[in-house]
Amino acid sequence: MHPLRKQRLWVVVFIVAFSSLAVALVMMALRENINLFYPPEKVLAGEAPVGKMIRIGGMVREGSVIREAGSLRVRFDVTDFKGTVPVVYEGILPDLFGEGQGVVTQGKLVDGVFEASEVLAKHDENYMPPELIDAMGPDHPGPKKKAP
C-alpha cells in the first residue's frame, strides 16, 4: 500500500472512531438527563420508574398539606382525580402553592412516596400545563384545553 494512501486511511479511521465516541457520549448524557412526566394514575399503575428523576403533576388534594413544625418539610398529596400520590418536599414552597391548586413536582419515587426536589405551582387560576390537561382527561374540574 502506498504510504500516502495508508496515512489517509488512518486519518479516516481516526475521524470515524472519534465521531462515534462523541455521538455515544452525547446520547448517554441525554438519556440520563431526560425528565419524563407522569400523572398520578400512571405512577400508581407502576408505569413510572422507581429511583429515577421524573416529574409528576396534578392538583394538590384538599386537606392533605401537612407541615412539620420547626422545619421546611412538607407532606401533601397530588391527584389527577383518578389516583393520588403522596409527596414529601423539604424546602420553600412557591407563593402560589396551595390546596386545590395545580402543581408539577420533580424528584424520585421511593417506596411508594414521591420525594420531590423541586415544586412548581401554576401561575394563575386559569393556567394548567397542556400535558397535565391531557393526562387528566376531559372530565377533570380544572381549566379546559383550548382548541387551536
Task: Verify that 100 and 44 share a domain, yes or no.
Answer: yes
Task: Verify that 70 and 40 share a domain, yes or no.
Answer: yes
Task: Verify that 66 and 19 share a domain, yes or no.
Answer: no
| Residues in CB range of 6: below 8 A, 6 or more apart | none
pTM (2 d.p.): 0.66
| Residues in CB range of 44: below 8 A, 6 or more apart | 83, 84, 85
Residue 19 sits in which domain range?
1-34
**Domain-located, residue 128:** yes
Q: In a structure prediction context, what are the per-residue pLDDT tens digits for the chain, which is 148 residues long?
A: 788 899 999 999 999 999 999 999 988 887 766 778 899 999 999 888 888 889 998 999 999 999 999 999 999 999 988 899 999 999 999 888 888 888 999 999 998 899 999 999 865 555 666 776 777 676 665 555 444 5
Q: Residue 20: exposed, middle, or buried by beta-carbon count in 10 A (0-12, 13-18, 19+)?
A: exposed
